[in-house]
Amino acid sequence: MMGGTDLIRLSASAIAGAVSRGELKAEAVAQAHLDRIAAVDGKVNAFLKVLSGPALEAARAVDLKRSAGKPLGALAGVPVALKDNICAAGAQVSCASRILDGYIAPYDATVVERLKGADAVVLGKTNLDEFAMGSSTENSAFFPTKNPWDLGRVPGGSSGGSAAAVAARMAPLALGSDTGGSIRQPAALCGIVGLKPTYGAVSRYGLVAFASSLDQIGPFTRTAEDAALAMSVIGGHDPRDSTSLPAPAAAFAAPTGDLKGLRLGLPKEYLEGGLEPSMRAAFDAALSALKARGAITREVAMPHTKYALSVYYLIAPSEASSNLARFDGVRYGPRKGGASGNLLELYEESRGAGFGPEVKRRIMLGTYALSSGYYDAYYLKAQKARTLIKGDFDAAFEDVDVLVTPTTPAPAFRFGEKTGDPLSMYLSDVFTLPCNLAGVGGVSVPAGVSPEGLPLGVQFMGRAGEDAGLLRLARALEDAKLFSGEPAL
């Protein structure tokens, strides 16, 4: 019989297989992970809400289902953590914002429906930068999440809670959302696998919107195999999401590491400067390992990459300005002011008290970009430049199969290091956000460790709809064993 320490070391695939075969009880697996949360989350602060009772009840239901001889789902007994901007019926969905304080989701997001339908067990809701706006999880209204590898450093963001939960073995699988790198960047900083699927490959129904043309839900796992398993469950068309791709879920079999003849593109614009030396060394080592397995590398040009950061920080805040208009103190969150009957005063005071500084900054940026007299100069021009950026990806994929870049310019930074300089913080996502602008898939894979003992990640980006191929590459890099170790918690 496995003890709790053994159970938290199992992959999602191993748990699902053992529970389905009757070798493990789902309740024992859930309890082991809840015990782990109780033991270490006081240091890490990955969770905003732990759903102990519902998790154990769900796990017992899985065990009863198997006892009754009924077939179990693909994620039988697998504990899952959810970023707290994804709705789960009966649980809070705060987006780490005061303006949603006390709000309980009345329904399940499509991804949660599919997780539950596959017999997964939801452990709780994880911390994030408020409304997913940030790169460090320092913008949470409640507390910052800490990187399990070094508690003095950030886990990345905005999905830092989900990444930290998986890295610290509090869950083998977590879901996050990625608008400009919010899955891949924290995955890199926490030493795990993080996949941003092709836009539309996973339903956004039940995800609280930040920037609707960029947002995408995806998994955090410790292996490429587990990411494929998660995608086989959460992917596929959803008629409730108008942006959902009409195709059925792609086949996400366990990936293999065969790369013979695979053409890897190296965008020169990503590698011209700004890389911390250990990150460059890890990137070069990853390329050597992939070439040793049969891949071919060639340089590609993506000339409009230099505009991506500016384009993103016009389009994303503009969409946020529109999406967050509904949070007004009337329908959601604490209501402030308005005693005199002045509706404008109620809006101003409720939103002023409810939103944090970064959310306010982005709402103001977006409102300005959309305002009369400035729309054509800013928002419209940004959309035209976005088309050029997407064209760079289309042209590159005529010559290569996958693009390979560092995920981040450097390993995890210290708390407070970038909070006084928003531009410096925004540059943390400089390698990840073009992928969202183009709507293609991207995955971050651990590729090494810095001299300070911090994880380093490499990013693969592929053609729209070819996310399974990215996990094939991720598996090959795992097989090269360039990354080892785990947080000392």
Distance (Å, rounded) from C-alpha 281 to C-alpha 406?
10
A 10 A CB-CB count for 23 gives 11
The token duo for 87 is 């709705």
* Buried residues in 185-205 as b, exposed as e (16+ CB within 10 A): bbbbbbbbbbbbbbbbbbbbb
83 is known as an active-site residue? yes
Q: 182 catalytic, yes or no?
A: yes
List 94, 97, 136, 158, catalytic entry: 158
CA distance 282 to 455: 10
- Cα separations in angstroms, 161 against 109, 205, 208, 235, 311: 19, 21, 16, 22, 27
**Crossing angle of helices 26-44 and 52-67, rounded to 10°:** 160
Spot the catalytic one: 13, 20, 25, 83.
83
**Rounded distance, CA 412 to CA 456, Å?**
9
Query: For residues 74 and 116, is the Cβ–Cβ distance under 8 A?
Result: no
CB contact at 8 A, 83 and 100: no
Active site residue 20: no
Which structure tokens are listed for 449?
């460790």
Phi/psi at 281 (5° precision): -65, -40
Catalytic residue among 20, 94, 136, 182: 182
**Active site residue ranges:** 83, 158, 182
